[in-house]
Amino acid sequence: MKIVLCITGASGVAYGFRLAQLLKEGGAGLSIVVTKCGRELMDAELGPKAAQELKKFGKIYDENDFSAPFASGSNPPDSVVICPCSLKTLSAIANGYSNNLVARAADVALKEKKKLIVVPRETPLSTIAIRNMLLLAEAGAVVMPACPGFYSRPRRVEDLVDFITARVLDHIGLSHNLSKRWGHV
Ligand SMILES: Cc1cc2nc3c(=O)[nH]c(=O)nc-3n(C[C@H](O)[C@H](O)[C@H](O)COP(=O)(O)O)c2cc1C
């Protein structure tokens, strides 16, 4: 399974980091793009060692490196996941403005009918953001806001992170035992 994981400058970098860890454990071939703002949020939210640790999980690409294999429709991955996804990146994708590798990878996923999963994090949402999410959903993307549920009775921040990570893995099609499913609580 070939996966491209993009981490952009929205709060909640822990979701993306955990996803990278689990995708690696699950045997996925992982390519990772971290935007400049994503890197800043990673340093702020996870500490200065996180960026270095991320390299253990997959090959890292610069957000301006359009020579990456997945920048071309001739070599698309199975899924592109943008987690967390800033509203700026969401807007770029929804409006076809592929000015960096993240937006281009997402554009390729949509045009090649591969899976695109975006995990936006913002609240409240403007009508512009809601419209952009609608555009993406209509284009075939899975729009999965970082809104963890509480029916599994989370005790730790890690439980909340795993709730969202589990839902993303479900959509990628990678099996896991992360969070209990409803009916098995
Ligand atoms: C501390 C901090 C927190 C931010 N949190 C969010 C957020 O949760 N959601 C969001 O859409 N943008 C957030 N932003 C704004 C984005 O980082 C900004 O729009 C940036 O241009 C996104 O660029 P990128 O998508 O290329 O990473 C935050 C910025 C900072 C500095």
Task: List the chain domain ranges.
Answer: 2-172
Q: What is the mean pLDDT of residues 84-113?
A: 98
Does the beta carbon of 38 sit less than 6 angstroms from any atom of ligand 1?
yes
Of all atoms in ligand 1, which is nearest to the CA of residue 36? 27
98 pLDDT higher than 80: yes
Question: What amino acid occupies position 31?
Answer: S
How is residue 180 annotated by DSSP? P
The model scores a pTM over 0.75:
yes
- Asked if pLDDT for residue 83 goes beyond 60, the answer is yes
Give the chain's radius of gyration (CA, Å): 15
SS3 category, 94 = helix
pLDDT band at residue 185 under the 50/70/90 scheme: low
Cα–Cα dist 105/108, whole Å: 5
Q: Provide the token pair at 166.
A: 């589990």
Q: By three-state DSSP, how is residue 183 classified?
A: coil
Where does 2-172 sit in CATH, by number?
3.40.50.1950
Ligand 1 in reach of 8 Cβ (< 6 A): yes
Whether 35 is in the pocket of ligand 1, judged by its Cβ within 6 Å, is yes
